[in-house]
Amino acid sequence: MKRSQIINYLIKKSKYKSYLEIGIRNSIFNFDKIKCEYKEGVDPDLLCNAKYGMNSDDFFSKIPLNRKYDIVFIDGMHKCEQVLKDVKNSLDHLSDGGTIVLHDCNPMKERHQVEKRTVLHKKWNGTVWKAFALLRMSREDLFMCVIEEDEGIGVIKKGSQNLFKKILEKELTYNFLRKNRKKLLNLFPFKYFKKLV
């Protein structure tokens, strides 16, 4: 199951009307497949033809505080620090009952989760999973889980969760993820996720 299918499932189930995508890259992979009444995209690469040809930090600093989206898909800069910023900013602009969807939360190989992408990386998840883990250890006011599809589809909603035990950021190694994957990511197959939402 692909990210676009999961996003469309959430849009249909919750009757969402407004969608924001951060990091389009090539619209045929996801943006064009999303079935939502109102869609906007943000990407600094002008070849993407995003409505907002800028990085996400600039976008969020320019839009009014009262602009809200029902669902936000984050697939931009795959570095922990930037993902944390994108999630925080998206939460500030999320409608009541809205959902944030986050790609690349479940890297299956250590070489896929390095900080910097090189030409040798066909698959690259970056350190998105570390941002997700840090939020799982610090934000009691969120509901968070990862769906076991398409490199790990993170789902974040305002709500509540039992926090994962707090550890130092430097201890968030791939070996730690391997040993704690299911509980750290709150990992579910899609069929079980459907019963949760």
- Tell me the domain boundaries of the chain: 3-196
End-to-end CA distance of the chain: 17
- Mean pLDDT for all residues in the chain: 94
The pLDDT value given to residue 28: 94
User: Average pLDDT of 56-77?
Assistant: 97
Task: Check if CATH label 3.40.190.10 holds for domain 3-196.
Answer: no
Q: What is the pLDDT of residue 65?
A: 92
Residue 114: which pLDDT band, with cuts at 50, 70 and 90?
confident
Beta carbons within 10 angstroms of residue 160's beta carbon: 10
- By C-alpha distance, which of 101, 80, 103, 87 is closest to 173? 80
Q: What's the pLDDT band for 48 if we cut at 50, 70, 90?
A: confident
C-beta atoms surrounding 127 within 10 Å: 21
pLDDT exceeds cutoff 60 at 82: yes
pTM of the model: 0.95
Q: Is the pLDDT reported for residue 120 higher than 80?
A: no
Mean pLDDT of 45-71: 95
Phi and psi angles of residue 62, each rounded to the nearest 5 degrees, phi first: -95, -25
Q: d(Cα 78, Cα 60) in Å, to the nearest integer?
A: 18
Does pLDDT of 69 surpass 90? yes
